[in-house]
């Protein structure tokens, strides 16, 4: 990723936009500290589409657990410590 100061970025905005549109993120710094990253609209869309909230995560997780017997038997995911057998 190429890095430019705000002053340089301001003078060369069209070139920086072209870099971002071509798939190369561009870091812009302010007072030698990272301030922003310029990315293409397609890259932004791909990143923002992946976001999901806790509710969506929980719903997906619960649907993945359906059909598993969590209390014992075939397809056991967890054993209760009191019910586990000791092997010597």
pLDDT digits (tens, 9 = 90+) for 29-57: 999 999 999 999 999 888 877 667 788 77
Q: What is the pLDDT of residue 21?
A: 95
d(CA 2, CA 75): 51
**What is the pTM for the complete model shown?**
0.56
* Structure confidence at residue 79 as a pLDDT band (50, 70, 90): low
* Mean pLDDT along residues 67-85: 57
* H or E segment and range at residue 62: helix 54-65
Between residues 2 and 70, which one has the greater pLDDT? 2
Placement of tokens 């000791």 in the chain: 86
Within a domain: residue 88?
no
Is the same domain home to 6 and 38? yes
Placement of tokens 């100061």 in the chain: 5
Domain that holds residue 12: 2-44
d(CA 12, CA 9): 5
- Mean pLDDT, the chain, rounded, equals 81
Is the same domain home to 8 and 37? yes
Within a domain: residue 72?
yes
């Amino acid at each position: 990723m190429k890095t430019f100061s705000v002053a340089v970025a301001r003078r060369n905005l069209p070139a920086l936009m072209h870099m971002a549109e071509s798939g190369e993120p561009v870091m812009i710094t302010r007072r030698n500290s990272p301030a922003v990253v310029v990315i293409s609209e397609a890259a932004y869309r791909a990143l923002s589409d992946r976001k999901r909230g806790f509710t969506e995560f929980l719903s997906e997780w619960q649907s993945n657990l359906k059909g598993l017997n969590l209390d014992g038997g075939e397809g056991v995911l967890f054993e209760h410590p009191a019910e586990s057998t000791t092997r010597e």
